[in-house]
Chains A and B, each alone.
Chain A
Amino acid sequence: MLEKQGELEHILLGCRQGNRNSQRKLYEHFYGYAMAICLRYSKNREEAKEILNDAFFRALTKLDQYDPAFPFRPWLRRILINVAIDYYRKNNPLPVHLELTAARESAMEEMPLPKISPNEDLLPVLRALSPAYRVVFNLYVMEEYSHQEIADLLGIDARTSRSNLVRAKENIRALLQTKTTIQSN
């Protein structure tokens, strides 16, 4: 509905002029979409809310940098990801340099994830990961960044990113199997 170009443009114009009603409309419309992304990068709702409001604050105060020639949703998504990464770096200052041997890494990469049913809620599984694994997993799987891009964003080595992904996958597998076992019992 709001995605109609004319209405969105009107709201964005109001936001640029500092109109609080327009800002609220924009926030309300993109709230669900943005909160779903934030929840993936945080361990609880409070953290997600903090990331969400940080991102919206940044978006609303830097709206003059947005080029209306491009869609608004990807621009907002990029801000959300950047804020989530900043939040991760702020609260996890020590980069985790755990590298696996090449043989073990390739062996673990080959191990498939258990089958995921479409109705399964994966958010608790994702939240159970450590912050370092969760952020790498999100960036690689959900945002489809390469390991080199992730390494540049997080200030770590590309091999560390790869290792974190493998470990994240291993943890997810273990969590899903446990979940399946509990459900079957």
Chain B
Amino acid sequence: MEDQFKQFRDNMEGRSQPPFEEADWLELQKRLDRHDKRRPFLFAWWWLALPVLLLLLGMNGAFFLELQKARQTISSVELRKDSVMHTRVIYIRDTIYRTRVVHEWVSAPLERNDVANARQTAQAANENPLVASKEYIRENQPVTANFMPLPLRGTTVFHYRRPAPALPEAELEPPIVQQRKALRYYLYDARPKGFQLGCSGGWAYPSGMDLNLKPGYSAGLQAAVEFSPKLRMWVDATYFNTRLVSNRMGDDLGIPLVSPPSDDYVFLRAEKRQPAMQYSAGMQYLFRSKRTFKPFLGLGYGAVAGLPYDITYEFENSAIGLEWNYDFPGKRSAALSDFLMLRAGFEYKLSTHWNWQMLAHYRSNLERAGSGPPDIFGIQSGLNYRF
């Protein structure tokens, strides 16, 4: 028996080898070229993504520190406002001071040699026509002719002060100082002023491919940096899982050709469960930003990476009424593609730190060729915490 096989084997091994075909090499060369191009792109993508992520983290850290400083500054400014109030009180006292310019008596501890001075002062006060007037005496009882005939140690003696010259009327309006606005001024004005972190989930409806599309779901994390009450930048990472059903097979759909167990079986359809990871960033504008209910509109850009997916094929043998379902062994992976995203929705402020978001978004892939993830229309709801 083994000899028969050996005879067969020798015959096959001794067969003349086919000649080299240039076309076959060119086909392989193209494939190698594609492979070589793809690798730098993937590496470049990661090396670009890494600094962006680090930059975002750094910005968030810097922003948080700036926010702390700003809060401290605001607290100190509030204290300074109190001081300003005191200044205003001083103005009022100044007005009183002008009455004292005529009538002021300053208290000082009594000294031995001040006794004579006190008497002289009292006499001088009585000689002063203003002090001697009835009006003044009525208002300032301590300064009378009977005042302190014999001053004692430890008691208060009033000294008369010469009237100060009249002060010119002060300009109360502060002078206007013209300051030149530098670039730094505008940059500082556009600095991040708030940071939000949250999670979201919802429904995803694939569209844009020649398939029967079934809804799936999405879940993800998102962060947002507020540059002003109306302008905000978001960054999110979302996991999508959608189902696609096709009545044809083809590599353009990411559904490889599969042979049925026999020619009697007819292909009915294939179902592809397509998970994908989406990273996006964009700017959104908030209307009615000072209200509790804030509608918003946003435009963003991102990349979606198709994760390995499963395919189930359905064949039917109508002659015997049997169906044959086949799960494609192993996982297939889809390509990486970039997209533009439009999102619109509203945000409802629940408390100082918490808000609830409801939004609809449309993701349109920029690259149409290949078996990448399809366009997605989705509705998401999320909860955010504002730091």
Contacts and interface: CB of A to CB of B under 8 A. Distances in A.
A68 interface: no
A126 B260 CA distance: 22
Given A33-B17, A122-B8, A122-B12, A93 B24 contact: no
Interface size on A, as a range, is: 35 or more
B18 A23 contact: no
Given A28-B25, A52-B24, A23 B32 contact: yes
B255 to A, nearest CB: 13
Given A109-B1, A112-B1, A123-B15, A20 B7 contact: no
B8 A113 contact: yes
A32 B27 CA distance: 17
Contacts of A49: 21, 24, 27
A107 interface: no
Contacts of A140: 5
Interface string B7-36: 111111111011111001101110110011
B18 A112 contact: no
Contact of A35 (B17, B29, B256, B260): B17
B259 A31 contact: no
Nearest to A40: B12
B287 interface: no
A90 interface: yes
Contact of A20 (B1, B8, B14, B29): B29
A53 B36 CA distance: 16
Nearest to A96: B261
Interface in B225-276: 256-261
B15 to A, nearest CB: 6
A24 B29 contact: yes
Nearest to B326: A93
Contacts of B25: 24, 27-28, 31
B12 A142 contact: yes
Contact of B329 (A27, A56, A93): A93
A159 interface: no
Task: Give the interface SS of chain A, mostly helix, strand, loop or mixed.
Answer: helix
A62 B13 CA distance: 27
A53 B17 contact: no
B328 interface: yes
Nearest to B22: A28
Contacts of B259: 91-93
B4 interface: yes
B35 A61 contact: yes
A116 B36 contact: no
A74 to B, nearest CB: 14
A89 B257 CA distance: 12
Contact of B24 (A31, A90, A92): A31
A21 to B, nearest CB: 11
Contacts of A36: 12, 15, 17-18
Contacts of A123: 12, 15
Contacts of A94: 260-261, 324, 326
A23 B28 CA distance: 10
Contact of A18 (B27, B36, B326, B328): B36
A116 B7 contact: yes
14 contacts: A20-B32, A24-B29, A28-B20, A31-B25, A32-B17, A40-B12, A49-B24, A89-B329, A91-B257, A93-B326, A94-B324, A94-B326, A115-B7, A116-B8
Given A57-B31, A122-B15, 6 more contacts: A32-B20, A49-B27, A57-B32, A60-B32, A94-B260, A142-B12
Interface of A: 18, 20, 23-24, 27-28, 31-33, 35-36, 39-40, 49, 52-53, 56-57, 60-61, 89-94, 109, 112-113, 115-116, 118, 120-123, 126, 140-142
Interface of B: 1, 4-5, 7-15, 17-21, 24-25, 27-29, 31-32, 35-36, 256-261, 324, 326, 328-329
- What 5 A-B pairs have minimum CB-CB distances, sorted nearest first? A32-B17, A94-B261, A113-B4, A31-B20, A53-B28
